[in-house]
Amino acid sequence: MKKKSSIIIISIVAFVAIVLIWGISINNSLVKSDENVQQAWSQVENVYKRRMDLIPQLVETVKGAANYEKSVLTEVTNARAGVDQVKVDPSTLSEDQVKAYQQAQDKLGKALANSIKVTVERYPELTATKNFAELQQQLEGTENRITVERSKFNKAVQEYNTKVRRFPNSIIAGICGFDKKGYFTAPEEAAEPVDVKFEF
């Protein structure tokens, strides 16, 4: 009788240990995926920050080289300030937060693209200046980097969301508080993301 009860106790302990190890393994996998998403998000923020840092240089270059309309520069400056107002918590990256961040960045991208287009059209002499040409190249490169990093972020989010929603991971995800993350999407009013092109 003692031997039988010992076997039952050992079996229960072994089962609990297996379940515990399984839960820890899933939790660690979810943590790793969450860290990948946050790392991808930091890269997205880096490329957007690069664009933000280039904008004052663009504004000053244009101001210094031409008697430029203040309304266009004000639109870019205001859009840039609007981006600073949107705060995103990297630990949650909820769909609403990512959407608000994306809308502010899209507005800035449009203002920037419109500003450069008007500049090139109205002040062709600017296209010949070294500073303006370099800024154009840097901004174009930055827009390409933004597209690449947003794509990498969405891939990391897809992998994470798939793990969170897949059974039996969804049980551990629910218990440990792993929530679904938000994606970057194309702007509602456009089929494609903002693409800054410089035509001479």
Distance of CA 14 to the CA centre of its chain: 44
Give the predicted TM-score (pTM) of the model: 0.65
Q: Which residues of 111-140 are buried (b: 16+ CB within 10 A; e: fewer)?
A: bbbbbbebbbeebeebeebeebeebbebbe
> Can you give the pLDDT at residue 137?
78
Residues with Cβ within 8 Å of 69's Cβ and at least 6 positions away in sequence, in order, are 118
Residue type at 36 in one-letter notation: N
Q: Tens place of pLDDT for every residue, the chain, 200 residues?
A: 667 778 888 888 888 888 888 888 888 888 888 888 888 888 888 888 888 877 777 767 666 555 555 556 666 767 777 777 777 777 778 788 888 888 888 887 877 776 766 666 655 655 556 666 777 777 788 888 888 888 888 899 888 888 888 888 888 888 888 888 888 876 655 444 445 454 44
- CA distances (Å), 129 to each of 58, 66, 119, 122, in order? 12, 11, 13, 14
Indicate the burial class of 89 (C-beta count within 10 angstroms; 0-12, 13-18, 19 or more): exposed
